[in-house]
Amino acid sequence: MRFPVPVICALLFAQSAPAFAALGAAAGPAAGAPPQAQADAARAKASARVTSYSGYTVSEVVEPSGTTVREYIGADNVVFAVSWQGPSMPNLQQLLGSYADQYVAAASEPHPGRRAVAIQSDQLVLRSGGHMRSFAGNAYVPSLLPQGVTPDNIR
């Protein structure tokens, strides 16, 4: 049985996952997030491994499914990139925030013979793909990349 891509995207977005900040937003739970999302965010941050680099930090959380999610946070506390790798897709609606609609639109376009999604624009660069038990991807906002940070730094 094959499901249409919009149905698959809706199912992936509906997954329960720890709360992360959205791409392009300030790090931390989204303003107005329900108490459960704020509690999830606090729990995720408490278990996050944070690594500092010149001009940015990377917060890495391993979800209960085993998927590793990284948030790349600039000195201005704004998430300029996200990446994921693991056996299940993270909640991309939450990770991509206002950029999620671009992902849904790109994923809904026909891709004969391919399951990967790629977006390359001035507003968003995204690559996502994989198969059951092995998904990976990353997304970043080119205009938010700190000086000296290249797309190769986002893994």
Structure-model confidence comparison of residues 13 and 91, the more confident one: 91
Distance in angstroms (rounded) separating the CA atoms of residues 85 and 7: 22
Q: Which two tokens stand for residue 70?
A: 């990284």
pLDDT of residue 112: 73
Please give the model's pTM, rounded to 2 decimal places.
Answer: 0.78
Give the pLDDT confidence of 75-132 residue by residue, as tens digits. 999 999 999 999 999 999 999 999 999 999 998 888 777 779 999 999 999 999 998 8
At residue 12, the pLDDT reads 45
Give residue 14's pLDDT.
41
What whole-number distance in Å separates Cα of residue 127 and Cα of residue 149? 18
Sign of CA dihedral 93, 95, 98, 102: negative
